[in-house]
Amino acid sequence: MKTILKTLAAALAVVAVPAAAQTVNAGKYQVIIGDCEGCHGKDLAGGVELQTPFGKLVSSNITPDKDTGIGNYSAEDFKQAMTKGVAPGGKRLYPAMPYPYYAHLDDRSLTDMWNYLKTVKPVKKSINVNQLRFPYNLRIGMLGWNAMFFHPKPIVQDPAKSAAWNRGAYLVNGPAHCGACHAPKNMFGADKSTALTGTSLQGWFASDLTGDRHAGLGAWSVADIVEYLGTGRSNRSMASGPMAEVVEYSTSQMSNADLTAIAVYLKDLPPSRGNGGAATGVDVQMKAGAVAYDISCAACHGRDGKGSAIFPPLAGNANITQVRADTIVRMVLAGGKAVATPTAPTGPGMPSLGWRLNNDQVANILTYVRNNWGNQAPAVSPETVGRIRGSLRSGS
Ligand code: HEC
Ligand code: HEC
Ligand code: HEC
């Protein structure tokens, strides 16, 4: 009886929410899926710097302020900007704003999102968006880019797959824009293919998300992926850098059903060609690396590489065995802080060790870590460590 009453009350509560509030709530959830705060800032007033291979872009103010935000947009203007990359006055947006992915949003979702954005507090803040190098700073160039690369194909439902798989395919390839970081790019910054086989990104390597056992998510379960996206950590890896921000502003606030859908879809991706297998002919590096690892790393990550409740494992962690070692080199040189989420408010820190270890030592340790405890991946060279040390110094 009690449960019947509860269900009844819940049903009434749903009916009692006015239609306007419902679309605003639905729109807020769309903003979470699209990770708008990740680029436009927590207050959506913009000013967040984005490094691209073509120079610097600064995100615009998308609060309803009339002078400096999008307060003069109509609902139709908003839909054009989101799905065609064209702002009022014919201004061509750069694809650092992921409109090629948002083009998959349906009309209902866009209306909800617009209704929510109108309720956000207006902030007066003008932004100098375009700080790209010549000739990329000329917006007219985007006409050509769009003609060559902007052909959003509809994401078709596959009736042979489950509802969760189809929802996952839509989120990953559509509004959650995972490929914006995880798909390889061509020299014009457009996705080379939609396969999520990983790519270098601002001194990190956005991991291979396919089913490869060493370089991808082959060894992860659906539950591992859901936990990672929901909290920023699983017993396989911890999110840092750009992925920590995605978790903080977007995936940690998604529903469990949506996270499961994403995981089901990712688990079904065919394995990539992998990372090229174990390093060979590196006995000297491996021996030196083993000794240095025990001194500098084992205290936290364990001699067995298994980590603990607060330190991520390095054994069986696909982040360690990506084709390119950018993320882990950067981690050792500059340290990092794991993401803080509502369920785990303070993330543990990884100390920066770049001041204490030279390029050879870092290369030895990481070659050892990438080829011990069942891990397999190509060796790391001192030159790679030097390149990333250089990019950290120049702040890009
Ligand atoms: C990966 C970073 C990124 C994400 C995520 C992102 N944006 Fe943007 N957005 C940008 C950048 C950069 C610009 C400026 C582009 C330009 O001026 O060419 C921009 C511009 C815009 C504009 C045009 C403003 C104008 O100049 O008139 C709108 C509208 C907008 N974004 C809305 C959104 C919404 C809504 C979301 C979430 C669903 C979102 N953006 C997510 C980076 C991002
Ligand atoms: C802004 C860029 C960016 C976006 C967008 C992004 N990622 Fe990532 N992701 C990264 C980077 C960089 C890493 C590697 C660093 C790390 O693991 O902390 C990573 C790591 C991961 C990992 C861990 C893989 C491993 O082997 O440890 C998973 C799983 C993942 N991302 C899933 C996703 C999914 C699903 C989406 C879309 C909802 C997504 N990412 C969107 C940048 C991004
Ligand atoms: C004082 C403890 C401590 C020491 C010493 C330490 N680490 Fe870490 N390490 C951490 C913590 C905490 C994290 C998680 C932080 C994060 O993901 O941002 C981490 C993360 C990492 C990651 C990223 C893992 C992932 O899943 O993305 C790598 C790679 C790594 N450490 C390698 C090393 C190596 C190699 C050494 C020795 C040269 C070392 N660490 C020394 C605490 C430590």
Q: What is the CATH number of the domain that holds 95?
A: 1.10.760
C-beta 60 within 6 A of ligand 1: yes
**Amino acid, single-letter form, for residue 13:** A
Distance 332 CA to ligand 3 centre (A): 7
**Amino acid, single-letter form, for residue 266:** L
Q: What is the structure's pLDDT at 364?
A: 97
Question: Going residue by residue through the chain (396 aa), what tens digit of pLDDT does each one get?
Answer: 455 555 555 555 555 567 788 999 999 999 999 999 999 999 999 999 988 777 888 999 999 999 999 999 999 999 999 999 999 999 999 888 999 999 999 999 999 999 999 999 999 999 888 877 777 777 776 676 676 666 777 788 899 999 999 999 999 999 999 999 998 876 666 766 668 999 888 778 999 999 988 888 999 999 999 999 999 988 888 898 899 999 999 999 999 999 999 999 999 999 887 788 888 889 999 999 999 999 999 999 999 999 988 889 999 898 899 989 999 999 999 998 777 666 666 667 889 999 999 999 999 999 999 999 999 999 999 999 999 999 888 754
Domain shared by 294 and 263, yes or no: no
Domain boundary among 267, 291, 306: 267
Domain shared by 363 and 322, yes or no: yes
Mutate to test the pocket of ligand 2, among 170, 182, 329 (most ligand atoms within 8 A of CB): 182
Which one, of 16, 98, 38, 15, lies nearest residue 251 by Cα?
Answer: 38
Which one, of 254, 95, 108, 248, lies nearest residue 167 by Cα?
Answer: 254
Q: Is residue 158 part of a domain?
A: no
Domain shared by 39 and 92, yes or no: yes
Residue nearest to atom 2 of ligand 1 (CA): 39
Handedness of CA 6, 11, 15, 19 (dihedral sign): positive
Q: Is residue 148 part of a domain?
A: no
Q: Is residue 143 part of a domain?
A: no
Domain shared by 61 and 107, yes or no: yes
Q: What is the structure's pLDDT at 17?
A: 66
Question: What's the token pair of residue 388?
Answer: 């990333």
C-beta 35 within 6 A of ligand 1: yes
Residue nearest to atom 34 of ligand 3 (CA): 297
List of residues 6+ apart from 69 with CB closer than 8 A? 45, 61, 62, 63, 122, 123
C-beta 180 within 6 A of ligand 2: yes
Cβ–Cβ under 8 Å, residues 255 and 152: no
Q: Is residue 185 part of a domain?
A: yes
Q: How many whole angstroms separate alpha carbon 300 and alpha carbon 304?
A: 11
Domain boundary among 213, 236, 267: 267
Which one, of 375, 361, 362, 372, lies nearest residue 303 by Cα?
Answer: 372
Q: What is the structure's pLDDT at 395?
A: 58
Q: Is residue 137 part of a domain?
A: no
Cβ neighbours around 135 below 10 Å, total: 9
Domain shared by 354 and 310, yes or no: yes
CA trace torsion 240, 242, 243, 246 (10° rounding): 130
Q: What is the structure's pLDDT at 184?
A: 84
Question: What's the token pair of residue 360?
Answer: 């050879």
Domain shared by 64 and 116, yes or no: yes
Ligand nearest to the CA of 329: 3
Question: What's the token pair of residue 201?
Answer: 């990104």
Domain shared by 289 and 323, yes or no: yes
Q: What is the structure's pLDDT at 78?
A: 98
Q: What is the structure's pLDDT at 10?
A: 53
Domain shared by 202 and 117, yes or no: no
Q: How many whole angstroms separate alpha carbon 109 and alpha carbon 162?
A: 22
Q: What is the structure's pLDDT at 305?
A: 95
C-beta 104 within 6 A of ligand 1: no
Domain shared by 251 and 298, yes or no: no
**Amino acid, single-letter form, for residue 306:** K
Q: Is residue 10 part of a domain?
A: no
Cβ neighbours around 273 below 10 Å, total: 11
Q: What is the structure's pLDDT at 223?
A: 97
Q: What is the distance, to the nearest Å, from the Cα of residue 58 to the centroid of all Cα atoms in its chain? A: 18
Residue nearest to atom 29 of ligand 2 (CA): 225
Question: What's the token pair of residue 167?
Answer: 């929802």
Cβ–Cβ under 8 Å, residues 154 and 170: no
List of residues 6+ apart from 268 with CB closer than 8 A? 161, 165, 211
Provide the domain limits for residue 235: 163-267
Domain boundary among 210, 240, 267: 267
Domain shared by 260 and 287, yes or no: no
Which one, of 101, 59, 69, lies nearest residue 82 by Cα?
Answer: 101
C-beta 168 within 6 A of ligand 1: no
Residue nearest to atom 12 of ligand 2 (CA): 206
Question: What's the token pair of residue 238?
Answer: 């911890």
Q: Is residue 142 part of a domain?
A: no
Domain shared by 124 and 199, yes or no: no
The residue assigned the tokens 């688990």 is 267
Q: Is residue 277 part of a domain?
A: no
User: Domain total for the chain?
Assistant: 3
